[in-house]
């Protein structure tokens, strides 16, 4: 997994995602989530917000394999699916080349 949201200092990942993304659904083994194809049509990508207990991670699903790793693998951590504009994502990731 190679691309995570890291906003500027003092801004929490979960706050940035909630302010700049559109919530789609929670991700767990009990609910159906949208398939990757067709999820983002308007210059956006899925981002999975993962609650690790003491901190959050926000993984950018820059392709279908990344999306499946975050959504289909068994994982007990609470996760939420958002979609976020690619241009906004490029401002908060370490390697904007992942965002194409």
- Looking at the predicted structure, is the pLDDT value of residue 1 above 60? no
For residue 96 the two structure tokens come to 């904007």
Q: Any idea how long the chain is?
A: 100
Rounded to whole angstroms, the Cα distance separating 42 from 55 reads 30
pLDDT digits (tens, 9 = 90+) for 60-88: 998 889 898 888 888 889 999 999 999 99
| Residue 79, beta-bridge partner list | 27, 50
The single-letter DSSP state of residue 37 is: T
Secondary structure of residue 33 in the 3-state scheme = coil
Q: Binning pLDDT at 50, 70 and 90, where does residue 29 land?
A: low
């Amino acid at each position: 997994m190679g691309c995570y949201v890291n906003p500027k200092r003092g801004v929490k990942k979960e706050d940035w995602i909630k302010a700049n993304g559109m919530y789609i659904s929670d991700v767990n083994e009990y609910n159906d989530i949208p398939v990757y194809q067709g999820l983002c049509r308007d210059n956006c990508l899925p981002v999975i917000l993962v609650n690790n207990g003491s901190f959050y991670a926000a993984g950018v699903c820059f392709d279908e394999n990344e999306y499946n790793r975050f959504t289909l693998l068994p994982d007990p951590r609470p996760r939420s699916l958002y979609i976020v504009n690619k241009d906004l994502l490029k401002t908060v990731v370490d390697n904007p080349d992942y965002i194409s």
